[in-house]
Amino acid sequence: MSQVFSFSGNDDFYPGGRIYPNPKEPCLFLSLGRSVDYFPLQKRSRFSVPFDINREWFDEPKQKASIESLPDECLFEILRRLPVGQDRSVCASVSKRWLMLLSSICENENCNNGSTIGDNVVGDDDDEGFSNEGYLSRSLEGMKATDVRLAAIAVGTASRGGLGKLTIRGCNSDRGMTNVGLKAIAHGCPSLKVFSVFDVATIDDEGLIEIASGCHKLEKLDLCKCPNISDKTLIAISKKCPNLAELSIESCPNIGNEGLQAIGKLCSNLRSVSIKGCSGVGDQGVCGLMSSASYVLSKVKLESLMVSDLSLATIGHYGFQVTNLVLSDLPNVSEKGFWVMGNGRGLQKLNSITIECCQGLTDTGIEAIGKGCPNVKNFQLRKCAYLSDKGLVSLTRAALSIESLKLHECHRITQIGLFGVFFHCAAKLKVLTLISCYGIKDLEMDLPAISPSESFWSLTIRDCPGFGDANLALLGKLCPRLKHVELSGLQRVTDVGFLPLLECSETGLTTVNLRGCLNVTDRVVLSIVNSYGWTLQVLCLDGCTRVTDASMMAIAGNCPVLSDLDVSKCAITDTGIVALASGKQFNLEILSLAGCISVSDNSMAAFKKLGQSLAGLNIKRCSAISSRGVSKLQEHLWTCDILN
């Protein structure tokens, strides 16, 4: 009818000319009735023209109608009727508004997969082959972690196998992700099983509760440096994610005892718990968790917590299924806590234990642990200031199943405790690692009769300044089956100590690391390659400044399976590189020459030949190699990663 009022003789409306001489005559406001038939019916206009009360027409250009003028509620109803798959992905590319609306559609709000609208079946045969089992993995870091990207992930992965793993590391505080992005994941990714958030301060419980509500298949949750996450999140997870098997929380100050207690009571599949630097967690939370999940929990890590002896006593009593235990930086735990834990007799299945930076660990406590954990195989002790030779020997006497022992910065341990380990555990000990243990001195010792270990194969001694030739020669007699030898930063070790070790070895060495052994010469290298070149796979001579081209020539002719060679800062020249290139190194993949100042452009041809198998070449600080030479190497060895 508005078209009738506004008509003033335009032939586009009716070709017969004007109908009324005065289109503004008041009588035109009267109804014409159904019987009036002045002209044939025309197509209904798709445009509306504004009309004021004074019956004057605004002089505005007519605008085309757009779907964007629809409110969100109407557009949501349209979009949720699209089949999951390519159609939705295409529509998500239209605008940010469409993307966010599509990402807000929950699984139970989809009107497809056979549902009907009116008389039509909504669905797309092209999407029938897609599944939503959580095969895809996505990771966002820094500025890429935004709500829009999370929405795109939610829409894009829905029909391509489903999102199974999502990792978010940090975000831009100005335009970073918020709870809106997490809601998009919760609505569009019901298949999510692994969710990790690191250093994100812009989300809180609201977003994580949405994840719990929408992602019931969640099996692993990592929360690190999320200051706004509290017990509410853990309570929601415990109620709605029954499949949760791994939980890791770090530096989340608002998470406390209540959340851990809920996890312990309701998550019957919980296998692993790691809690670090959470100031709100105390004995009540740890004890509640351990006592409730005692028959399923197999891995426990407590680090930088203000718990007391009570927590360790609970672990010792309720840790029936615990196989891996890590206790680190627990300042309020005393000798009594470790003693009670060992005597609780609940850690019979414990296989691996690590104790770090715990001032309460003494000889008495370590002996109790050895007696209470008879099946432990891997023992790691770091920065245990009050642990001495007496405690170490008592441990090895009680825990006869130890296969791997690592001592790091335990300065009261001396060579007496070291050889006491072999006296009690020689039958099963396989791996020994000593790092920065300053109490070990290179002294002549009269050892009791100790049978050589037939199982021991790996020896690592790193940065122990007192360790020298005498100790190394004694170890050589006890370790005839060595395959892996690392003697790093031992400036007191010379050829005199290393050669007896080689002479006692009855099996082929596969890995030798002499990094920083300044007094080792070509004599040792020649002995290694001549005796064990046929099994040697990794050889590191970094910083052995007395090693020369003679060693390179020996390596070239005797090490056919060598894959990793490091001669950084050695006295190597072009002659050694040429010799190596003409040798039998069919499997050499990594070659490091960093700091070899005598290697020059004259080695280019040799490098090209070695490049047939090389995957990595380190020529940093090789000052005699020109920039032009480096460019040529990069051109010819395009499949090799060159560090210069």
Between 102 and 552, the more confident residue is: 552
Please answer whether residues 329 and 353 qualify as being in contact, where contact means their C-beta atoms are separated by less than 8 angstroms: no
pLDDT at 27 over 70: no
DSSP 196-247: EEES--S--HHHHHHHHHH-TT--EEEEES-TT--HHHHHHHHHH-TT--EE
34-48, 84-98, 174-188, 442-456: least confidently modelled range = 34-48
- Residue 504 confidence class, pLDDT cut points 50, 70, 90: confident
- Residue 626 confidence class, pLDDT cut points 50, 70, 90: very high
- Residue 84 confidence class, pLDDT cut points 50, 70, 90: low
Helix axes 363-372, 335-343, angle to 10 degrees: 20
Count CB-CB contacts under 10 A for residue 25: 9
Please answer whether residues 538 and 512 qualify as being in contact, where contact means their C-beta atoms are separated by less than 8 angstroms: yes
Backbone angles phi, psi at 121, to 5 degrees: -90, 125
Helix axes 96-103, 179-188, angle to 10 degrees: 60
- Residue 18 confidence class, pLDDT cut points 50, 70, 90: very low
Per residue in 247-299, pLDDT tens?
A: 999 999 999 999 999 999 999 999 999 999 999 999 999 999 999 998 999 99
pLDDT of residue 107: 65
Per residue in 227-252, pLDDT tens?
A: 999 999 999 999 999 999 999 999 99
Q: Which amino acid is at 513?
A: N
DSSP 280-310: T--HHHHHHHHHHSTTT--EEEEES----HH
Q: How far is CA 582 from the centre of its chain?
A: 42
pLDDT at 77 over 90: no
Q: How far is CA 26 from the centre of its chain?
A: 79
Q: Which two tokens stand for residue 104?
A: 């807000």
Q: Give the Cα separation of 244 and 222 in Å (integer).
A: 11
Q: Give the Cα separation of 320 and 322 in Å (integer).
A: 6
Cα angle: 316, vertex 320, 322; to 5 degrees: 85
pLDDT at 634 over 80: yes
- Residue 452 confidence class, pLDDT cut points 50, 70, 90: confident
Please answer whether residues 483 and 510 qualify as being in contact, where contact means their C-beta atoms are separated by less than 8 angstroms: yes
Cα angle: 471, vertex 474, 525; to 5 degrees: 80
95-104, 171-180, 260-269: least confidently modelled range = 95-104
- Residue 85 confidence class, pLDDT cut points 50, 70, 90: low
Q: Residue 461: which H helix or E strand, with range?
A: strand 458-462
DSSP 97-162: HHHHHHHT--GGG---TT-EETTEE---GGGTT--EEEEEEEEEEGGG--HHHHHHHHHHSTTTEE
Please answer whether residues 555 and 539 qualify as being in contact, where contact means their C-beta atoms are separated by less than 8 angstroms: yes
Bridge-based pairing state of the strands 564-566 and 538-540 = parallel
Q: Which residues are CB-contacts of 444 (< 8 A; sequence separation ≥ 6)?
A: 470
Please answer whether residues 295 and 269 qualify as being in contact, where contact means their C-beta atoms are separated by less than 8 angstroms: no
Q: Which residues are CB-contacts of 622 (< 8 A; sequence separation ≥ 6)?
A: 593, 594, 595, 596, 597, 599, 600, 644
User: What per-residue string of b and e applies to 43-65 under the rule 16 or more CB within 10 Å gives b?
Assistant: eeeeeeeeeeeeeeeeeeeeeee
Q: Which residues are CB-contacts of 32 (< 8 A; sequence separation ≥ 6)?
A: none
Residue with tokens 């890791």: 248
Q: What is the pTM of this model?
A: 0.80
Backbone angles phi, psi at 198, to 5 degrees: -125, 125
Q: Give the Cα separation of 4 and 13 in Å (integer).
A: 9
Q: Which two tokens stand for residue 192?
A: 């999510």
pLDDT of residue 157: 79
pLDDT of residue 72: 65
Q: Give the Cα separation of 521 and 47 in Å (integer).
A: 93
Please answer whether residues 91 and 102 qualify as being in contact, where contact means their C-beta atoms are separated by less than 8 angstroms: yes
Describe the chain by its helix, strand, coil percentages, rounded to 5. 35, 15, 50
Percent of the residues in the chain that have a pLDDT greater than 90, as a whole number: 61
Per residue in 509-560, pLDDT tens?
A: 999 999 999 999 999 999 999 999 999 999 999 999 999 999 999 999 999 9
> C-alpha distances in angstroms, 619 versus 590, 614, 641, 644?
11, 13, 11, 5
Q: Give the Cα separation of 406 and 41 in Å (integer).
A: 95
